[in-house]
Amino acid sequence: MNCELLATCSALGYLEGDTYHKEADCLESVKDLIRYLRHEDDTRDVRQQLGAGQIVQNDLLPIIIQHGQDKALFDACIRLMVNLTQPAMLCFGKVPDDPVFRCHFLQVTSHLQACKEAFASERVFGILSETLYDLLQLDWEQRQEEDNLLIERILLLVRNVLHVPADPCEEMKVDDDASVHDRLLWAIHMSGFDDLVKFLASAQSEQQWSMHVLEIISLMFRDQTPEALVSAGQARSAEEKHKDSQELEALRQREQAAKRSRTFQRGTRHSRFGGSYVVQGLKSIGDKDVIYHRNLHNFKNYTHDIGKAVRRVPKKNRRAQECKDQRRSALNVRLFLREFCMDFLENCYNRLMYLVKESLIREQAQQHDETYYLWALSFFMAFNRGNGFRADLVSETMSIRAFHFIERNITNYYEMILTDRKEATSWSRRMHLALKAYQELLLTVNEMDRSQDESIRQSSNVIKSNIFYLMEYREIFLTLLRKYDETRQPQSYLKDLVESTHLFMRMLERFCKGRKSLMVQRKKVRRKRSESKKKTSAVETSPEALEEIFKVVEEELKASGFQLSESLTESIVPFDATSETPLEEQRTEAMVRVQDALLARLGPEALGLLRAAREVWPEGDVFGSADVEPEEELELLKQILRANLPRSSPPEPVGEDEDDAAELEEEELESVQVSEKEFNFLDFIKRFANPGIVHPYLLLLKTYSKNSPHTNHCIARMLHRLAVDLKMDALLFQLSVFNLFNKILSDPAAAAYTELVTFAKYVLKRFFSVAAQNNKAYVELLFWKNVGAVREMTEGYSKDGEGKKPTWTEEEEEELRRLYEEHRHSEVPDIVETLLPLLSNSTRTRRQVVTQLVHMGVVVNAKELKKQKKGTRIVLWTEEQEQELEMLFEEYKESDDVLGNILKKLTAKRSRARVVDKLLSMGLVSERRELYKKRSRGAHGKSSGKGMTEEEFLESLTQGFPDEPVDRDDEDEGEEDESEESEEGEDEEQEREKSQNGGRRSQSLHSPVERRADVGSMVYALQQEGMSGPMLWLQNCLNKTAMDREDDDVSQPVPLVPLTEANEEAMDNKSFKKLLRKLGMRPPANEQETFWRIPAKISASQLRSAAAALSPREEEPKGDEEQNGSGSPNRESQEEEEEEEVSGEQRAQALRALLLARKKKHHTSEHAAPVSDFTPTDDTDSTIERSQEKTSTKRSRVLDDDEDNVPVSDFNPVEDTDSTIERSQEKTSTKRSRSRVLDDDEDNEEDSTTAVDMETNGDADSDREDISAPVKRRRKMVLIDEEEDED
């Protein structure tokens, strides 16, 4: 032992005789030991050394027995013992595979077994019981947290001690002898601890210990069986005596047969003259007969395998090991446990099982705790069945909920067996436990059927009708048999599964016999293809048919006097108030519903809908006036019937083009259809006629001599159902089965297996009768057979080609060949679809035509005739196409839209994504963004106006307009729709390009002053909503981030984390989010991000500008209206109507004036200082800008609205000057530009990565440094001036 541990243990005290003398620092030493255990290594060295020193037996137990009055010491000792008695499985996590760690594991287990023997003392449990009793006497008001901890530790200590496994080498005891576990249980009983356990299970105030109590009870009954406890102390019944006599008789017969065989084996001559014999007809390895060198009395056991080495079975193919055998405890222990079971069922079972179930459902228990629930359910319900069945004692677990809970666990365990292969054995044991619980539920329901109480029998029928109706419960055994795996599930599991299946089949058969018909639920998974063609938008009906329909409706309405029943009037609802569809669209839908009712010849329903719709939509007299006459209503119905109404089609997926839709059409959809059908018991048995289900039964039958008579009966009954009831005896015509039957028939104790012998003789008789008619029957013995093979073997084999696809005549083949040759060179998309209607035999299917063309050799394979999907059929690139692509790239690589120009000029049309991938693979571009549309720089280069005519200048102004770029995008989209394939990457590129281009177009239409004023209006609006606090928080965040970026010179995205409730509510406000987007903040990019972020590319100066724009104001500035050119709504609408008639001549004059002003500004700016505030040209521009506001009021208002959603980006001096000109030119296409701007608005709402300020990107461009520098300073001064004006 380690010297420190030895010193600590010595400081505890010493045992002198029966008296333990503790040292002064005993408490501190116990705490030191706890501390040592906390820091032990993976080999559990501290635990092993303390176990070897027997610290529990020699120190800790004497301390709590003799010094229990010292509460602090007692608590510390209990705490230490809980740690030391912890199961070895918990210490190491699992049984180690490594030999060294396996040795440590076994060492810890041996120390635990020694501790368990020390705990088997009445004095120890007497102290624990007294302490626990005193603690439970305290009310909740008096009980402290330390008291609850001590209660839990005592329960855990008892749990740990009971959990210690028995040592098979030390405890080689016979049944009815007291083992260590029995002595421990007797100590628990004599100390009264079992009564405390029952109190904890039943007390209302102690329900928090329910899981601990159930765990202790399950470990107490670990070695017991319900049958053994029920029969404890009672005389053996006549049935048990008869069963024992049968077993003894079978053993006696076997012994006599073995004695007779030994007698026959003794030869009359000595062994030196055994002799050698030639076995005629049995070939050896060569061509000669086998020579046998042994006595003849052993010849019938001769096999070629004699002398061969036994082949080793791989570990993964070995059969699963059985759990340890049950043993019978001492009689006094069984009697005490029997009394415990009776008291527990009477007072505790229902309540405890309810609490545990609730904990499991709410996931308040630990992992795998449901196994204790499953064990308790099966054990105590079995005990209740054997001990004078009373349904009220187990009412809590006798419900459909219990069936569902167990079925769900069985399914989960099976899935875990497949997925968690390393722990498959543990999952298999849990699955076996769940199966036992399910079996016990069925046995209890079966017992309820025999009850004398009518109400109990009625409850049994309700439960049976549910479990037989639902498919999950009805077919669970079918599934488990099919999924049985002998390498993972032991034979005891198979035995319980076969017996449970037998019980279920017997109950189901009895349930069906008492009823003429039984309806059950059926679930069917169907795979269907979505319809490839949309339904027509209007119902096509001939005028004659409509006239006939209306006559029928008219006669029906006149016969009823246009009166509607009250029930019909109340049931008709013309619109859905909860629908998101606007009321105007619902009005059209209501009219379509009226038309549908008329087409269905439902006159009263159509009239009721008409009147109900009239009340909802009285305006416009669309459904008639309020005082309409019946004849007028009739005429109105006639008009609706004949009208060509627009019918809504299913919504198309947003953001997908025709190619994606085509792919969706081809996609298979799965749907579970639930329906009812009449149940047929014979059809249900047919589901078991499968080799995969018969095989587990025959595996269990191989151990017939070890099986119980009931198990053998279950096997024989199922095989009898298949062979006799279904007449599928050929299913058992298999060589291994006949070998098993031969073993049963030649068994000396065959008289004990009468049922099996009779069945084996019946199957063999049937085989020989079939073999007399079918000369291939002996070959069939080598194979397992399905239902089809069984039918062929007994009824005769079908001829080749019989029952297959119809043949083609020579005339039909010639016709098909001729039609194919005529149309093979035609440019039809699908030649097979073209040929089908032209064939004389119209019943031919596409598959038949394709197969015949391949068979005739007209085409090489069916792939040539495969239905072409919408999409590019060109996959490979030829060398010429690669050269063409490279040439086009070199030609257009400097253009604004490289990819668009290449796609237009490519000879072989391909999708955008294919071209992008090819350019990347050829190394022409390094990343996709190089192929995005570039921002037009034409206006920048000619900003000075040098060498430009007036027409060139006006043409350059239109380059920033939405018209041309949008048209170009429309063309690209059109080309894309015409392209024959679409992929996800293509869609993403389009969205990004649209977003970027839309952002550039919109940004070029706004000046910095307009943007600043627009932010101010949004700040004012939020201030009016009471969001001054969140805006101040946002302003502080921006200023703090700006300071950090100035200090560190490093920019990283900074999350905006709201820490107050007001800030959190603001982050959910739409207007506040709109402001964040306006300032360039980035929303969460994916599900892994929660907060908005300040992008890394926004500089410190830009952040300070944005923060300054958030300063609160007393009132909204009026200058905002002047800058945006927007007055009151009434004035705007009047000006729009008055000024829409402005002639194009006035606009041209205004443009010429702006052109002259621009030239003057250029000449002036060459001599101006770079830090000047505003040049005279700027004043002139602003004056002209204001003079043009009235002529473009409508366009200006659209842009102002749009500006809220357009993220602010780079500032451009040319854009600053030309924004008003661009607005004035848009006057001629106001409506069109409104829709385009709104479209851009939608695109740019997603573009949240743009910067907040209006700074130019020219910092990195040396050619534009002279322009960008003064612009930055001018922008700052403008903002300062504006702030002074606001103040």
| Residue 726: how many other CB atoms lie within 10 Å | 17
pLDDT of residue 1169: 39
Reduced to 3 states (helix: H, G, I; strand: E, B; else coil), residue 1093 is strand
With residue 557 as reference, give the H or E element that holds it. helix 543-559
Residue 1270 phi/psi, 5-degree rounding, is: -65, -30
Per 3-state DSSP, the chain is made up of helix, strand and coil in percentages (nearest 5) of: 65, 5, 30
**pTM across the whole model:** 0.57
Gap between the terminal Cα atoms of the chain:
84
Q: Is residue 795 classed exposed, middle or buried when 0-12, 13-18 and 19+ CB atoms within 10 A define those classes? A: exposed
Q: Does residue 751 sit in helix, strand or coil? A: helix
Counting beta carbons within 10 angstroms of the beta carbon of residue 458, is it exposed (0 to 12), middle (13 to 18) or buried (19 or more)?
exposed
SS3 letters across 756-807: HHHHHHHHHHHHHHHHHHCCCHHHHCCCCCCHHHHHHHHHCCCCCCCCCCCC
The rounded distance, in Å, linking the Cα atoms of 546 and 856 is 51
Alpha helices by DSSP H, 1049-1143: 1061-1067, 1070-1078, 1100-1109, 1119-1124, 1129-1139
Report residue 820 as tokens: 């194919």
Distance CA 893, CA 902 (A): 9
pLDDT averaged over consecutive 10-residue blocks of the chain (1287 residues)?
85 85 88 90 89 89 89 92 91 88 91 91 92 89 89 94 85 75 91 92 89 93 89 73 79 79 63 73 83 74 78 83 76 91 93 92 86 94 91 91 93 91 89 95 93 90 90 91 91 95 94 82 63 42 77 80 72 70 74 82 81 77 75 81 68 42 46 79 91 94 91 95 92 94 88 91 94 91 90 80 66 88 77 85 85 84 68 62 86 84 81 83 80 58 42 44 38 40 43 44 41 74 84 88 81 84 85 85 78 85 85 49 41 43 50 58 45 39 42 39 39 39 40 41 41 39 40 41 45
Read off φ and ψ for residue 278, nearest 5 degrees: -100, 125
Q: Which two tokens stand for residue 558?
A: 């006149």
Task: State phi, psi for 1076 to the nearest 5 degrees.
Answer: -60, -45
Distance CA 350, CA 360 (A): 15
Residue of 1173, 1156, 1128 lying closest to 1274 (CA atoms): 1173
φ/ψ (deg, to 5) at 23:
-85, 170
Helix residue ranges per DSSP H, 41-144 = 45-52, 55, 61-66, 71-84, 88-92, 99-119, 122-137
Distances (CA, A) of 662 to 129, 609, 665, 667, 862: 76, 38, 5, 9, 22
